[in-house]
Amino acid sequence: DAKTTQPNSMESNEEEPVHLPCNHSTISGTDYIHWYRQLPSQGPEYVIHGLTSNVNNRMASLAIAEDRKSSTLILHRATLRDAAVYYCIPEGGYQKVTFGTGTKLQVIP
Amino acid sequence: DGGITQSPKYLFRKEGQNVTLSCEQNLNHDAMYWYRQDPGQGLRLIYYSQIVNDFQKGDIAEGYSVSREKKESFPLTVTSAQKNPTAFYLCASRQPGYNQPQHFGDGTRLSIL
């Protein structure tokens, strides 16, 4: 399994952009980088994923470094509903995946 | 709507008892997973199954057992051999393919009486 490193916690003001970093230096060539988020007492929710190119969807953007050893999840305007734990997960196919402790995002009104 | 259903939401167990947590999906996914989450911690993989009638141990399988007799169902039994079963249990499923994300249920919170 690829190992990941994320900050334990981050803060953002409401309606400001948030950049959540992740290092995954041991990622394999076929692993996609998935991001999930988890609200208290709920299961994780898929946010976005990518392989090499930057990706956008209605929830967020994903910026992937050219060497694929790191990525950044971008929330363009943080809202109170974005307060959650964010997990960065390199994964591919059926292989088992490892969820670390993620980054706890606090959004300040 | 398609999704994953975990039941019950809350479960209480007396010491020495086995309990079974239900996980059903109607997404037609081949692979299914069970995770355990302790307070303030990440998810740890208990068991996973890539296909019916086949499953593999994850990182913390001791004290747990599973079955995969149907594609839609992947029940987890917490046996009396699991000495510290109090935790939040999450079930997930996914389609094959490198770019497919996992879909999670809402979890079952197990407590010891």
φ/ψ (deg, to 5) at A94: -100, 0
pLDDT the model gives residue A26: 85
Dihedral sign, CA of A76, A50, A48, A9? Answer: negative
**What are A84's two structure tokens?**
């959650």
Q: Do residue A92 and residue B98 have CB atoms under 8 angstroms apart?
A: yes
pLDDT the model gives residue A103: 97
CA distance B30 to B107: 20
| Mean pLDDT value across chain A | 91
For residues A38 and A20, the answer to whether their CB atoms sit within 8 Å is no
Q: Do residue B99 and residue A102 have CB atoms under 8 angstroms apart?
A: no
DSSP line for B36-100: EE-TT--EEEEEEEEETTEEEE-SS-TTEEE--SBTTB--EEE-TT-S---EEEEEEEE-SSTTP
Among chain A residues, the shortest Cα distance to B38 is held by A101
Looking at this protein, which amino acid is placed at residue B7? S
Note whether A96 contacts B: Cβ–Cβ < 8 A.
yes
pLDDT the model gives residue B93: 94
Q: What is the DSSP letter of A4?
A: -
Can the peptide bond before residue B8 be classed as cis, meaning omega within 30 degrees of 0?
yes
CA distance B85 to B13: 9
Q: Nearest CB to A96: which of B40, B45, B105?
A: B45
CA distance B43 to chain A (A): 5
pLDDT the model gives residue A25: 87
Per-residue pLDDT 10s for chain A (109 aa) are: 668 899 999 999 999 999 999 999 888 888 899 999 999 889 999 999 999 989 999 989 999 999 999 999 999 999 999 999 999 998 876 567 778 889 999 999 9
Tens of pLDDT, residues A46-66 = 999 999 989 999 989 999 999
Per the listing, tokens 């389609």 go with B95
Per-residue pLDDT 10s for chain B (113 aa) are: 679 999 999 999 888 899 999 999 999 999 999 999 998 888 999 999 999 999 999 999 999 999 999 999 999 999 988 889 999 999 999 987 768 889 999 999 999 88
CA distance B73 to B98: 23
Note whether A46 contacts B: Cβ–Cβ < 8 A.
yes
- Inter-chain CB pairs, A–B, below 8 Å: 64
CA distance A5 to B91: 24
